[in-house]
Amino acid sequence: MLQQTNSPLEGHREADFRAGVIARRFSALCGLSQGELDLLRKIGRARYATHGPRSMVSALGMRRPAPHYIISGWAAHTREFEDGRRQILHLLLPGDSLSAQLCVPRRQHRIQSLSSLQTVDGEEIWTAACDAHAHPGLSKASALAEAQERAFLFNHIARLGRQNAYERMAHLFLELRFRCAQVGMDQEESIPFPLTQEVLADLLGLSGVHVNRTIQLLRREKTIRLKHRRLYFLNVEALMRASEFDPPKMTHLI
């Protein structure tokens, strides 16, 4: 379920690609110096952990209890109730960080991989970002990443509290489109979509059956296409009108 890989065995192209996700995310938030980019590239060549799909991401497979970064695959921060109900609190995409504390599974909080997942130790990024004088770009980008996560949590709350199934799904899809674009995972109005309808239900606070019906509706309207683990946006305008999605701007964060 979990393996350690030493990447010196692999080509630099692959390492650069992995580092690229973090670099893209940070660059989207704040301009980085060449030195900072080099530091991120070095991280990409470091040892990384692989978690199988549907597995619990625990601190066990990680070298030490430091923040880790996802370099490929999706994960979910979930809360579970005693009777089996489950709510996904936050979706984690490549470029996002996992706080170390959360990797110790507790009764109410756990992180589960939703697909095959690769993570790297973020210790060096963390310590570099803490020194705002030496690495102003990394420092600011880290703060903005945190602020952006807060904004996504607020979106999540507004969806669950005051939007119906259709609006919730439209809003979530646009948010995922935004997040994928930020790390370069989008192409031609489509994004990877590794979520089952059951996972989508736990994310949107709905039943699996109702998620299915809502997807059918979006399909019939030709607003989206969902096939082969990929989500195609056929009518972004319709989604925006329905959900009042407001793309987060950096100036509104912090």
Q: Which is nearer to DNA, 121 or 167 (CB)?
A: 167
Nearest to 95 by CA among 169, 44, 32, 168: 44
Among 8, 82, 188, 220, binds a copy of itself (CB under 8 A): 82
The SS3 call for residue 112 is strand
> What is the distance in angstroms between the CA of the first residue and the CA of the last residue of the chain?
38
Report what 166 binds from DNA, a copy of itself, none; CB cut-off 5-8 Å by kind.
DNA
Q: Which is nearer to DNA, 215 or 253 (CB)?
A: 215
Among 62, 206, 218, 231, binds DNA (CB under 7 A): 206
x/- mask, a copy of itself, residues 152-181, rule CB under 8 A, reads -xx-xxx-xxx-------------------
- Residue 168: which residues within 8 A CB-CB, separation 6 or more? 159, 160, 204, 205, 206, 243
Phi, psi (degrees; rounded to nearest 5) at 108: -105, -20
Among 63, 109, 210, 225, binds a copy of itself (CB under 8 A): 109
User: In what helix (H) or strand (E) does residue 77 lie, and over which residues does it extend?
Assistant: strand 75-80
Binding site residues, DNA, CB under 7 A: 164-166, 196-198, 205-210, 212-213, 215-216, 228
Binding site residues, a copy of itself, CB under 8 A: 77, 79, 81-82, 85-90, 99, 101, 106-109, 150, 153-154, 156-158, 160-162, 202, 204-205, 244, 246, 252-254
